[in-house]
Structure 1
Amino acid sequence: MEFQLLGPVRAWNDGHPIDLGVRKQRFVFAMMLLDANKLVPAERLVDLTWPEGAPRSARGVIHTHISRLRSVLGAAEAEHHGVALISNGPGYLLRCDPKRIDVNRFLELCVEARGMSDDEARIRVLDEALALWNGPALASVAPEETRARLSRHLDEARLLALEERFDAHLRLGRHAEIIHELTELEAEHPYRQQLAAQLMLALHRSDRGPEALAVYQKLYQRLDDELGIEPSPALRQLQIQVLRDDPVLTLDVRPAKPGPRQLPPDVDHYTGRQNDIDEICSLLTRQQSDDVLPVVAITGKPGLGKTALAVRAGRRLAARFPDGQLFIDLHGNGSRPRDPSEVLARFLRDLGVAGADVPSTMEERIGLLRDRTAGRKILLVLDNAATEQQVRSLIPGDSGCAVLITSRRRLAGLDMRKLVDLDVLAAHEALVLLGDLVGDDRLAEAEASAQRIVELCGGLPLALRIVGTKLRSRPHQTVAALAERLEDERTRLDELVGGDREIRASFLLSYDTLDAEHQRAFRLLALMPDNGLPMWGAAAVLGVDLRTAERLVENLVDANLLEGVPGRYRFHDLIRLYAQEKLEPDPERDTARTRMVNAYLYLGKIADARLEFGGLHQFDTPAFPLDAPAVLSYVESDPAGWLDEEYPGILEAIERAATSGQDELTCHLSATLAAFLELRGQWADLTRIASLSLAAAGRMSSPYWTAYALFAIGLAAREIRDFEQAENSFRAGLKILPEAGDPLLEVVTLLSVGVGKRLQGRWVEADGYFTGCLSVLEALDAPRWRAYTLRESGVLDRYRGQWERAEKSLRTAVSTFENLGDSRWIGASLRELGIIRREVGDLDGSLELLTRSRDALRTAGDLRREGAAWRCLADTHSEKGSLDEARYCAERSRDLLAQTLDAHGAACTDVCLADILLESGDLPAARVCLDKAMAALVSSGDPRWHAKSLVSHGRLLRATGDQAAAEAAWSEALQIFAELGAHQARQVRTLLQP
């Protein structure tokens, strides 16, 4: 088990990350790690966590965080690693081996380096220490002011280590190699005089005296203008010595044995990749016990800047390889990659072998290269490699050397320390690069357009450089205008041309290296949806078996023309556009698309039939074209999980079918998604596909598909509280139902109308619809739908305080759902029973039922209802007086509901949380929470919850001393509850009694 504080606060167990929870919880853990094996008083944790003043519940919150951390460590079997979090009197103690914490390892290495007499060894140890840093210490757990205060000693220790490392390099005569790094660091710490002195000395020794004096002048001006002081006497003396070109500053070092220095110049406007550079440098210089020559390869799709990264890393490493740096472009993307034998001959000549002495055979050249590199420190950068075979013979044998390779292929057959798989630039890095090229002021004037350009370029450095250079060379052109032109997918690649740079040409190099079979696969896979395809989908599109599809697709991944993510394959957006250009004239295009849609239909219908509200639609599907039992097993065992992965592709297929006038296909595809979208609460998507299906059904004059589409539109409208739209759709659906000839659809529609009436407070009408639904069900063998109806009827009885009748209906529903193995509706029904037990005073029984409900809903993947279960747990804990647990449950409910579109449920949770905050004495926080909830509930159309929020508002007003306003709020709530016939009316009357 290892712990990191030098960067984001993290923990690992056997190389796997441990989830340390929310930010404040991670902060508490970081404080415990900083004082590991010492008692940390609870008051100190409170003061550090809330520096501007702690709430009254702070001690309880800290205790909750400690309890959860203890659970996390227990789940990771921390005791096996000697790690334990212990409560001890007034505080807490984290027991662990200090060496498991990166801070202690860093400080230990710094002490070790200072005790060394050999500067080479000192640099190696300091590099190892500095490599432990992965960003600012304690990043991501505290505001910057707090973070800086707590980590000031660590930041200072890091700067000291860097300065000691620079001093060692200067003593070894490596002044030129550290100028770039010193310049960047001096800019980050403009008042650090030691860094300025080291930079001045390095520049002076590199015959750059005027620049050295400029460094001094800038520092002098800065100190005088901002602090009113002068530089230190030592720095002033150094300035005089530089002015006089004092011989004392000249280092008497023996010149290194001359060697080739072939690295190209560093690319201008280089941005990002710092973690990759650090990793590559560490991998190529770290000594290992097996004494094997380090080989690292950089791979990635076209346009990522692999060569630029290799050059930058190589230049940073140059001082570590004083005997030379060899560089060659192997032309791996061209039609004629370089012959390894010719490359060996060139390397030998570069290393001092006379042309006449270069052996004639490949084997002899390999042997002589190994001889000439033995005992020397040489870095070989092999750029743009074609195959493993091409580079294998170019690798020296001495472990003192190192090899850095770039290739568009993954070179999976090559022995190496690591394959660095380069990704696109992060959005913030891409914006920095664009701003560096164009000018930050110009980008700031069109920030939204700049961000859109970054998105449309897909974070690809080559595309961003083309766009940035184009804007820089055309000051009359606006950022917004270029962003608008890039929006058009048909011409986007045409815009990404600048001088001799062109994205399309970069992609063409890779495409031309493919044989005809792989070019066909590349083209046809351009049909895949934005979220990509699994292997079975690729096989369907290509019209081949799974084994052949895997070979073709993986070879395209190796060529970095496709991206492989767990279980799926996709294109980078720009490469996909290029593939679509190649696809347009392909005669197989329409046939391949039909194969993909048919596979969606076949598997989608199977998945839908296994969902709770699924299996309602009846239609024939084409045969599945693949022999893939594992795929069918997955769909049958986890239909919701399968649809989670595939529904974006099916949505895209529905849109395409509707646009192209394939009406029957539109209805069939929509049918495979409706129940899933209801399960996930994706109401906008459900409304969209149902509307497309309704239009298609109208063109076909199909009462069957019209009735289903109207039902889906009404259901989605009801769930977003658009009751007028819901009622109109349901009314139209009920009117056409007799022609549809589907009694189960009548049940579903009647039940949905009843729920809508209940939500609006029209409880008598709702009861009538539920009764009618049960009447139709008597003639059907549909136990699931009878259980649904009993549950909804039970909820209505609960609202009215008819506890026995409600409990009877709900327990019958639970029993049926248990027989069906339906965890979602077991959980939903248990939640209602848990509320009833709380209302009748059985708090322990309530907690037991609600816990079961939460667990069942989590198993079902129903975030919306799981969030409601957490809210009910919060209410029961609050009733028991366990306010810390109640608050945790309410916050957990809020977090889950934030991941859904259930704004109404989130508002209900805010009412619950406001009550808990009020009980805890945190009136300001309670007011904020309640104001937010009431604003949402007023417009939700749910009178019951609006009245409940008024009750909570009255309690808050009473707590602030405004009894009259409190009674006015309660009176309004009483009127609503009484009109509804809700049992809460009795409770409100009690509040109003003098």
Structure 2
Amino acid sequence: MEFQLLGPVRAFSDGRQIDLGVRKQRFVLAMMLLDANKLVPAERLVELTWPDEAPRSARGVIHTHISRLRSVLNAADAERHGVALISDGPGYMMKCDPKRIDVNKFMELCAEARGCADEEARIRVLDEALALWDGPALASVAAEEVRTRLTRHLDEARLLAMEERIDAHMRLGRHAEVIHELTELEAQHPYRQQVVGQLMLALHRSDRGPDALTAYQKLYHRLDHELGVEPAPALRDLQTRILRDDPSLKLNPREKVKSGPRQLPPDVDHYIGRSRHIEEICDLLISRTDDVLPVVAITGKPGLGKTALAVKAGRKLVAKFPDGQLFIDLHGNGPRPRDPSEVLARFLRDLGVDGADVPSTLEERVGLFRDRTAGRRILVVLDNAATEKQVRLLIPGNSECAVLITSRRRLTGLDMRKLVDLDVLDQADALALLTDLVGAERLADGDVHAQRIVDLCGGLPLALRIVGTKLRSRPHLTAASLAERLEDERTRLDELVGGDREIRASFLLSYDSLDEEHQRAFRLLALMPDNGLPPWAVAAVLDVDFRTSERLVEDLVDVNLVEAAPGRYRFHDLIRLYAQEKLAGDDERDEARVRLINAYLYLGKRADALLDFGGLYQFEPPPFTVDTPGVFDEIDRGPAVWLDHEYPAILEAIEYAAASGKDELTCQLSATVAAFFELRAQWADLKRVAELSLAAAGRFSSPYWTAYALFAVGLAARETRDFRRAEESFRAGLKILPQANDPLLEVVTLLSVGVAERLQGRWDEAAKYFDGCLSVLEALDKPRWRAYTLRESGVLDRYRGNWERAEQRLREAVETFERLGDQRWIGASLRELGIVRRGVGDLTGSLEILQKSRDALRGAGDLRREGAALRCLAETHRALGELDEARACAVRGLDVLELTLDSHGLACTQIVLADVLMDMGDIDGARIQLDKGLKALSVSGDPRWHGKALLTHARHLTISGHTAEADAATAVARQMLSDVGAYEAEHITAVSKG
């Protein structure tokens, strides 16, 4: 007996289709098959069968459908096929072989395809899997909302299978053949970035570059105008590579954009040896003898090629980890190893989490990272690790993933499958590497001079690469003369065979081979930050025209002194240390550093001015004198994206300026990244630069910069719930504001202080700050800021039951945002207005306004506020006695809020849903929601919602017969709400009685 759910719901017995009856009866069977061999509660079947309003006889109808289905299946000889539909206490169970259900067949075939090493075999298996589909899953048996809810994971799996099948075709060079299919997919899924990436690559490889770029621009405008976001980093990188006509896109037809992050660097050219290590690492990482995630670390002294080995092994494993490969340099050998929290934030964005939704705490980021990697097969490569502590939090919890680490340290405190201790190349491999680098025509077999070079380099791959590149790029230089030079450098030979200084000798050899112009470039580029420099910054450092700087740095790339990455140049960390030594006595060092910092100051200010809530700081940066093409356009297209790449360099400049006593420069540089850090919720970075700026402003007695720094310190403290520090900083800022002579800064500070006071329940103080803010705005032409303030003040008024003034201020805010065409804040203000109308008893008006709010927020792509609007709709429906609608809105609100990481909003909605469920008589269901919400709100620092949650708790206790406990909870809630002046305190009796 076979069952089909991937399309119309059907059943077959010995090849003959079975008549399954009416639509709802087929739907009930589909529910049982989706949870085959599991108990399905009758309540769940009722809820899904009648999503809007179930009749009183619903359970009886379900029982009738089950009985009829049982008769139909028994008539088709179900027992012989091992199929049985049984009643079991509060629900029903479908017993059958899961392999007889097409959903499970499909999933198994997809898993099998991902394990195929041969692309043709992968295509055949995926074709077989996709052939199981005959339209949308559960077609014609369920309402679209219910169908989507139940089959979202199946639709996603189908789309992923289609993408993987297209990937396989493209790896075989069939890019032209898949363009039509991709065009149709893109039309059906216009926000699917993986599909757009595949289409771009296929068009580019078919010599249709302009069409590829048009596809990107269509997506960019769609995301920007409709959702307010930008394409993922991988897609932006692909656009850049297409614009530059990156040869690797054409020359390597197996290269592709996949559905997950693909961050492994390219293979190192001229790679010789290590085959045993590669095989061992691959076996260790794919072995699944237990349920423990495999962790392998590569260790050894500098210059042994640990990163190259990790990349080589990782690329051989790509097919085994089809959901992506994450790669990051942890800068373990530099002065500022990457913070695990920063790394997790980047990983989360790479895995699809919107920057604004990245949690602020390390613990939450760890949890979300493990959640996003659960059920996926991802390889994580952590390069250049500093300590066990640094990498421990970056390891997924899913045993289907794998982690490969490189480090100079042995990391013996880390649980791992194997520590691969790398050693020097043996003589045969070292000679083969040198010969491959130089060319067999120049190094004949048995060349004693080449063997001598290998011996003097100590078998170290980095040293061999440097001397090999030098031989290859200098036709006049012979192996004999190079060996002789190495022999003459006694100290250099000593360093080549011991400790860190052994590498420096090879660096010196390569450095001495440069002419004066290239030596100067090498020295000055030691100023580059850990993450390297873009081409325009190289030109600024070297103080030459762009073409000359490009030639110089590319020459350094050729001799392996500088590494090239998409859009950036960087040093290997050890070469950078050597370059810094050579720079130490250079008279040009300080001038070059000033040029670099001034360039970042100018461009950073330009980017900041284009951000939401940016452009607050007023200062005149030095002019930008570099003739590099495109940098202004790059910033104007995506200021936040540009800052994503460049803020580490600005941070390093801020640290340098602060340490060097350049106080005004410290404040100006900090100003260029403050709004960006707020946008990306990088509160630790905002706190750091704000504190440096505050100290600097104090040293040169600047009220202006002191006030701004205090505001930034307070904002970072407020958003991390450090209210004591926030209050101290805000109050200190208010004292100095008159001397700053910046009305807009006064507005921003007063508004921020008011929100902080309101969050803590100090509403009288909050009102003073909001009114003060509005008073300052009377003299300013800042309608948007006035509307923001009116909205925040209106929220406070409704908290206190001051309905008339709340409505007045909120309506004015709505009108202003309508004039500005700001859908997001129209929706946000309408939500507050809808709550006010409910508060004055206008339930019909409240419903209408809240529906407009929900629609506006949905159109603006603001999921967090859409979820809040749904919660408010649930409360209004409840007040109208429309409990089914109330429950549907609350449940939908939970679904939306779970996507946004708004834990506070989620908890509030759980409390609302608990009240609705109690109204419907579902006491157990209410208890589940109540426990979740109350736990979160008890530590949120929000006394109003905590008090409301305690009232719902008291109501549940009363219904459950625990009167004494209910009275105690009510008393605490009454005191809590009375203390803050919440209007709900006046209705405690009515609320507690339900």
TM-score of the superposed pair, with normalisation by structure 2: 0.51
For the 8 Å contact 1:838–1:846, the answer to whether it is kept is no
Give the superposition deviation at 1:690: 1.6
Aligned to 2:696: 696
How far apart in 1 are the matches of 2:500 and 2:745?
63
Asked if 1:890 is matched to 2:887, the reply is: no
How far apart in 2 are the matches of 1:579 and 1:762?
56
Partner amino acid for 1:730?
F
Which residue, out of 97, 106, 109, partners 1:103?
109
Asked if 1:850 is matched to 2:854, the reply is: yes
How far apart in 1 are the matches of 2:571 and 2:307?
14
Asked if 1:867 is matched to 2:864, the reply is: yes
Note the residue ranges of structure 2 that are not aligned, 5 or more in a row: 21-25, 52-92, 131-271, 288-302, 317-378, 392-402, 426-493, 878-882
Aligned to 1:465: 421
Further displaced range: 672-681 or 814-823: 814-823
Show CA shifts across 1:423-470 (max 9, x none).
9956899999xx9xxxxxxxxxxx999989479999xx999634899x
Give matches, 1:602-681, under 5 Å: 602-628=602-628, 630-681=630-681
Cα separation, partners in 2 of 1:941 and 1:128, compared to 1, 3 Å: closer
Aligned to 2:753: 753
How far apart in 2 are the matches of 1:821 and 1:508?
62
Partner amino acid for 1:103?
L
For the 8 Å contact 2:607–2:640, the answer to whether it is kept is yes
Give matches, 1:160-309, under 5 Å: 266-267=275-276, 270-273=279-282, 302-304=305-307
How far apart in 2 are the matches of 1:55 and 1:526?
67
Give the superposition deviation at 1:703: 1.7
Partner amino acid for 1:942?
D
Give the superposition deviation at 1:666: 0.9
Aligned to 1:590: 590
How far apart in 1 are the matches of 2:709 and 2:387?
44
TM-score of the superposed pair, with normalisation by structure 1: 0.51
Give the superposition deviation at 1:665: 1.0
Cα separation, partners in 2 of 1:450 and 1:533, compared to 1, 3 Å: closer
For the 8 Å contact 1:99–1:105, the answer to whether it is kept is no
Give matches, 1:364-383, under 5 Å: none
Cα separation, partners in 2 of 1:310 and 1:742, compared to 1, 3 Å: closer
For the 8 Å contact 1:619–1:668, the answer to whether it is kept is yes
Partner amino acid for 1:776?
V
For the 8 Å contact 2:750–2:770, the answer to whether it is kept is yes
Aligned to 1:945: 945
Show CA shifts across 1:533-559 (max 9, x none).
444334333434445555566677787
Cα separation, partners in 2 of 1:718 and 1:266, compared to 1, 3 Å: closer
Show CA shifts across 1:750-769 (max 9, x none).
32222222222222332222
For the 8 Å contact 1:650–1:669, the answer to whether it is kept is yes
- SS of 1:897's partner is coil
Give the superposition deviation at 1:602: 0.8
How far apart in 2 are the matches of 1:821 and 1:848?
15
Cα separation, partners in 2 of 1:832 and 1:275, compared to 1, 3 Å: farther
Partner amino acid for 2:893?
C
Give matches, 1:326-345, under 5 Å: none
How far apart in 1 are the matches of 2:944 and 2:120?
64
Cα separation, partners in 2 of 1:715 and 1:309, compared to 1, 3 Å: closer
For the 8 Å contact 2:958–2:966, the answer to whether it is kept is yes
Give the superposition deviation at 1:637: 4.9
Cα separation, partners in 2 of 1:993 and 1:567, compared to 1, 3 Å: same
For the 8 Å contact 1:529–1:652, the answer to whether it is kept is yes
Cα separation, partners in 2 of 1:628 and 1:907, compared to 1, 3 Å: farther
Show CA shifts across 1:613-669 (max 9, x none).
333322221111223574324434543343333333322221222122211111111
Give the superposition deviation at 1:596: 2.3
Partner amino acid for 1:751?
L
Name the count of aligned residue pairs. 621
Give the superposition deviation at 1:681: 3.2
How far apart in 2 are the matches of 1:949 and 1:271?
56
Cα separation, partners in 2 of 1:686 and 1:692, compared to 1, 3 Å: same
Partner amino acid for 2:280?
T
How far apart in 2 are the matches of 1:95 and 1:507?
64
Show CA shifts across 1:376-404 (max 9, x none).
xxxxxxxxxxxxxxxxxxxxxxxxxxxxx
For the 8 Å contact 1:454–1:464, the answer to whether it is kept is no
- SS of 1:625's partner is coil
- SS of 1:801's partner is coil
Q: CA RMSD in A?
A: 6.0
Show CA shifts across 1:306-362 (max 9, x none).
69969999xxxxxxxxxxxxxxxxxxxxxxxxxxxxxxxxxxxxxxxxxxxxxxxxx
Give the superposition deviation at 1:695: 0.9
Give the superposition deviation at 1:962: 3.3
How far apart in 2 are the matches of 1:853 and 1:673?
28
Give matches, 1:68-217, under 5 Å: 103=109, 129=121
Partner amino acid for 2:691?
S
Further displaced range: 507-516 or 678-687: 507-516
How far apart in 2 are the matches of 1:132 and 1:811?
61
How far apart in 1 are the matches of 2:710 and 2:620?
22
Cα separation, partners in 2 of 1:638 and 1:960, compared to 1, 3 Å: farther
> Larger C-alpha radius of gyration, 1 or 2?
1
Give the superposition deviation at 1:792: 1.5
How far apart in 2 are the matches of 1:63 and 1:468?
68
For the 8 Å contact 2:543–2:592, the answer to whether it is kept is yes
For the 8 Å contact 2:541–2:595, the answer to whether it is kept is yes
For the 8 Å contact 1:106–1:132, the answer to whether it is kept is no
- SS of 2:603's partner is helix
For the 8 Å contact 2:6–2:103, the answer to whether it is kept is no
Cα separation, partners in 2 of 1:894 and 1:970, compared to 1, 3 Å: farther
Give the superposition deviation at 1:706: 1.5
Note the residue ranges of structure 1 that are not aligned, 5 or more in a row: 1-27, 66-89, 111-124, 139-262, 279-299, 314-422, 436-446, 470-493, 859-865
Asked if 1:876 is matched to 2:873, the reply is: yes
Aligned to 2:813: 813
Give matches, 1:386-401, under 5 Å: none
How far apart in 1 are the matches of 2:786 and 2:740?
21
How far apart in 2 are the matches of 1:781 and 1:685?
32
- SS of 2:941's partner is coil
Give matches, 1:354-365, under 5 Å: none
Cα separation, partners in 2 of 1:636 and 1:426, compared to 1, 3 Å: closer
Give the superposition deviation at 1:700: 0.7
How far apart in 1 are the matches of 2:100 and 2:615?
54
For the 8 Å contact 1:33–1:94, the answer to whether it is kept is no
Cα separation, partners in 2 of 1:302 and 1:264, compared to 1, 3 Å: closer
Partner amino acid for 1:786?
R
Aligned to 2:766: 766
Give the superposition deviation at 1:737: 2.3
- SS of 1:881's partner is helix
Give the superposition deviation at 1:573: 5.3
How far apart in 2 are the matches of 1:515 and 1:921?
85
How far apart in 2 are the matches of 1:689 and 1:845?
42
- SS of 1:271's partner is helix
Aligned to 1:829: 829
